[in-house]
Amino acid sequence: MLPSFRYIRPRTVAEAVKALAEPGACAHAGGTDLVGCLRDGVFGAKAVVSLSDLAELRGISAAKDGGLRIGALATLAEIARHAGIVKGWPALAQGAGAAASPQLRNQGTLGGNLCQRPRCWYFRGDFDCARKGGEICFAVEGENTYHAIFGGSGCFIVHPSDTASPLVALQATARIAGPKGSRSVPVEKLFVLPAVDHTRETVLGPGEVITEILLPPPLAGGRGLYRKVRARGAWDFALGGVALALSTKDGKVVSARVVLSGVAPTPWRVPEVEKLLVGQMLDARLAADAAELAVKGAEPMSGNDYKIPLVKGAVEEALLALV
């Protein structure tokens, strides 16, 4: 059952920020994650602040510089089918289209997808785990099939979003409104590793809300994709995946951003792989070498070493698709 809370429907971003700055308030976009969390007691809320009347958070529009502005309330379905995104930023369209189910994509928003809480069964279950302020991460000695092989430290969640890794690969920026005004944060810097703070996933402070995501113009010779591996073809979170944003000229890689999903508490960029790719002909040999390098330093737990060959395969396959 849902607990009781105040429901607030601000008409302006300023009103929303003010309401969200109150202790115990949280934002409500599509509600596909939030409502389940409240119902299951994952966390509580004194006030739920609806973003749905904030026209400034809606829409997808071309920017003057050739980039794109996506309002935080744009749904995953809108993003997945938007002709401009499919053409210019395919990794994002594919990420949005690979998330959840058609019903959830019609309701779930981009802002909510980036700020959704982790899916770890200990965090979501009746456990006083480290992310909820407890002493330990139960996944270390427990069931860790779906947990992190990179970047875990005191907490081993994986980031659940299928749009976050594409946005990091595409060098997107989040615009954030808050009590001190607006600020811009590269999506790459939006997420927090457990070593920094294992009780929160984003850098958003009290009262802060993502208003829009800005994408820079597509690169000349730009190519990209998002490859997600999941246990079944219906809705399922990524066991592992990769977002690629490359630019090539005459078959040679000019620039590369390679970001893994489903393997770390944040989207996981692999700069060594990017370095390896740049300046080389994109061919089967390079794809195999890059895939090998992508899993270097992985630290699997008792039940998730399958993620190493899985990620290797996903990276190799994704690169080969761009040859």
Ligand X SMILES: Cc1cc2nc3c(=O)[nH]c(=O)nc-3n(C[C@H](O)[C@H](O)[C@H](O)COP(=O)(O)OP(=O)(O)OC[C@H]3O[C@@H](n4cnc5c(N)ncnc54)[C@H](O)[C@@H]3O)c2cc1C
Q: How far is the CB of 69 from ligand X (least distance, A)?
A: 14
User: Stretches 110-118, 179-187, 213-221, 273-281: which one binds ligand X (CB under 6 A)?
Assistant: 110-118
Q: 30 CB contacts (<8 Å, ≥6 apart)?
A: 75, 107, 108, 109, 112
- Minimum distance, C-beta of residue 278 to ligand X, in the bound complex (Å): 29
Does position 31 interact with ligand X (CB under 6 A)? The reply is yes
Q: What's the rounded Cα separation, in Å, for the pair 298 and 300? A: 6
> In the set 94, 113, 144, 173, which binds ligand X (CB under 6 A)?
113
- For ligand X, the closer of residues 34 and 264 by Cβ is 34
Closest distance of CB 16 from ligand X, Å: 9
Among 8, 145, 216, 235, binds ligand X (CB under 6 A): 235
Residue nearest ligand X (C-beta atom): 112
CA distance 184 to 77: 25
Nearest CB to ligand X, comparing residues 27 and 225: 27
**Does 311 help bind ligand X (rule: CB under 6 A)?**
no
CA-to-CA dists, residue 76 to 71, 72, 80, 98, 225, angstroms: 11, 10, 6, 9, 16
104 is a site residue for ligand X (CB under 6 A): yes
**Residues 247-286 as x/- pattern, contact with ligand X by CB under 6 A:** ----------------------------------------
Q: Which residues contact 70 (CB under 8 A, 6 or more apart)?
A: 60, 79, 85, 110, 212, 213, 214, 215
Binding residues for ligand X (CB under 6 A)? 26-34, 51, 72, 76, 99-100, 104, 107-109, 111-113, 115-117, 160-162, 204, 209-210, 235-237
